[in-house]
Amino acid sequence: MTGPRTLLDRLWGDHEILRRDDGVSLLWVDRHLVHEGSHHAFAKIAERGVPVAEPGLTIGVADHYVPTRGRPTDAAVARMIDTLMRNTAAHGITCFGLDDPRQGIVHVMGPEQGLTLPGLLINCGDSHTSTHGAFGTLAFGIGATEVAHVLATQTIWQSKPKSMRITVTGRLGPGVGAKDLALAWIAKLGADGARGHAIEYAGPAVRALSMEGRMTLCNLSIEGGGRFGMVAPDATTLAYVEGRPFAPKGDDWDDAQARWQTLPSDPDAAFDRDVTLDAAEIAPIVTWGTSPEDALPVTATIPDPAEFTGGKADRMRAALDYMGLTSGRPLAEVPIDQVFIGSCTNARIEDLRAAAAVLSGRRAKVPGLVSPGSHLVKQQAEAEGLDRIFTEAGLDWVGSGCSMCVAMNGDTVAPGKRCASTTNRNFRGRQGRGARTHLMSPAMVAAAAVTGHLTDARPLLEGRPME
């Protein structure tokens, strides 16, 4: 291929083994991450009697079902974790189980261990695999049949998506972060706004984000319908990756980083779709409904379905009914029952620091759970004294895992209860049957904890040290 190329073009070209006449490519997979949910796929390859093609490129971690307090007590939870450990051991796959100091949420653990590197192709049977795109990585979530295929062949068939660039100009204001940026574009373009596209995030406001912020942004790509979200690697990326346990060392590091510097899109490369947002216009955002597109600045009022028509109005009415909200009332008056800080979206050290900046020296008016993204994040937070800030505020400081984001491990929100949450999905029943979820940033969840209702975090951050 000649002419200007995008990051997507380069990553695709680097992994394409062949392309069929119908345009579908066979791609090489550099890293395959498996978790408890991969049991269907292991069962499929067992049924066929085929081995795992590349156990050395496959890494397991327990996260979806991991209890955040002590050992598994529920038989189904224990069985899911045991099954993962047995399957990985049987195929010679390294797996970070409950007692491994490297255990954590798969999309926190991968980058933290240096398993996630620029220029790689990463698959995992989880839709938030787009997180790893923050490193300039072709990373996408796959279903069980595809997981079985990657286990058996270390390759995946995929049609090249269209390219979409989301450019964010200017600077995010104080107290406004990657979560707000992500929810802002999803509200603008819809929960299927990036369907069929690979997103590249660009512009000064994206460049200014830390790797943690970029991971949050790429993580939420799927909530806007994008299976892929990417940020081109730069000095911030290299500084994060260097020295991580599985990152290249010595001469390999020099070779690798020289290659990574050739990955960014050419300045004149064309995208199938171009969208621009002004960072200065983005305020702290909360969701009010049951889709991530149902997002508004916390300073807004609850929307009125009567101002919309057709399926959209019907869906809004159903969402407001489920959420127990009344149109026209200020969002900042909505009382909450509990908070959750955690998940692959917002449980990295920077997220915990942002929440702690609000909570320091204050008491939470509602109960809540703080679940760090990994054992290592937990250790780091404890070394910084963040755990004490949370517990002195009255919140529970627990172990790492997917926890109350996907509610598979026993951490659930009770029916009808309203939770301010740093997670990624406000779907009906996501945090437990009948649970009402409001998505927002870690600082905003902390602010809601302090006041007991949805709250603009910015005034609570005044005069306080921020990242």
Partner 1 sequence: MTGWTRHEGTALALDLENVDTDQLIPARFMSTPRAEGYGNFLLHDLRHDADGTPTEDFHLNRHPDATVLVARRNFGSGSSREAAVYALVDFGFRAVIAPSFGDIFASNAVNNGLLPARIGEDAADALIRRLDGTTASASIDLAAGTVTVADQTVPFDLTPAWQEKLVNGWDDIDLTQKHAAEMQAFRTRRAAEQPWAVPHD
Which lies closer to partner 1 via its Cβ, residue 59 or residue 202? Answer: 59
Quick one: DSSP state of residue 329? S
Please report, as residue ranges, which positions from 377 to 406 form the binding site for partner 1 (by CB under 8 A).
406
Candidates 71, 329, 363, 433; binder of partner 1 (CB under 8 A) is 433
Q: Which stretch binds partner 1 (CB under 8 A): 26-34, 181-189, 267-275, 367-375?
A: 26-34
Q: What angle do CA 101, 75, 80 make, to 5 degrees?
A: 55
Helix then strand count (H, E) for the chain reads 16, 19
Based on the shown chain and the rule CB under 8 A, indicate whether residue 115 belongs to the binding site for partner 1: yes
Sign of the Cα pseudo-torsion (190, 349, 122, 126, in order):
negative
Q: Quick check: 446 and 336 in contact, CB under 8 A? A: no
Q: State how beta strands 285-287 and 338-341 pair.
A: unpaired
Using CB under 8 A, which of 310, 361, 459, 465 touches partner 1? Answer: 310
Q: Alpha helix locations (H) across 226-288?
A: 235-241, 250-260
Distance, CA of 354 to chain centre: 17
Q: Is 32 helix (H, G, I), strand (E, B) or coil?
A: strand
Selected binder of partner 1 within 159, 276, 326, 391 (CB under 8 A): 159
Per-residue binder mask for partner 1 (CB under 8 A), 345-384, x = binder: ----------------------------------------
CB distance 205 to 170 below 8 Å: yes
Please identify, among the stretches 149-157, 264-272, 280-288, 356-364, the one whose residues bind partner 1 according to the rule CB under 8 A. Answer: 149-157
Please list every residue from 119 through 138 that binds partner 1, using CB under 8 A.
Answer: 119-120, 125-127, 129
> 175 or 292: whose CB is closer to partner 1?
292
Verify binding: residue 305, partner 1, rule CB under 8 A: no
Residue 308 sits in the site that holds partner 1 (CB under 8 A): no
Residue among 4, 92, 143, 243 that touches partner 1 (CB under 8 A): 143
Q: Which is nearer to partner 1, 193 or 213 (CB)?
A: 193
Helix (H/G/I), strand (E/B), else coil: 449: helix
Q: The tokens of 64 are what?
A: 């979806």
Q: Do the Cβ atoms of 165 and 274 come closer than 8 Å?
A: yes
Give me the least distance between CB of 26 and partner 1, in Å please.
Answer: 6
- Count of residues of this chain found to bind partner 1 when the rule CB under 8 A is applied: 82
Of 31, 35, 436, 453, the one binding partner 1 by CB under 8 A: 31
Q: What part of residues 217-276 is at the interface with partner 1 (CB under 8 A)?
A: 222, 225, 227, 245-246, 248, 252-253, 255-256, 259
What residues form DSSP beta bridges with 16?
27
- Interface residues for partner 1 in 34-93 (CB under 8 A)? 37, 40, 43, 48, 50, 56-57, 59, 65, 76-77, 79-80
- Sole binder of partner 1 in the list 6, 87, 155, 345 (CB under 8 A): 155
Site for partner 1 in 187-216 (CB under 8 A): 190-192, 195-196
| Residues 394/364, Cβ–Cβ less than 8 Å | yes
Closest CA to 282 of 210, 183, 200, 139: 183
Give SS3 for 121. Answer: strand
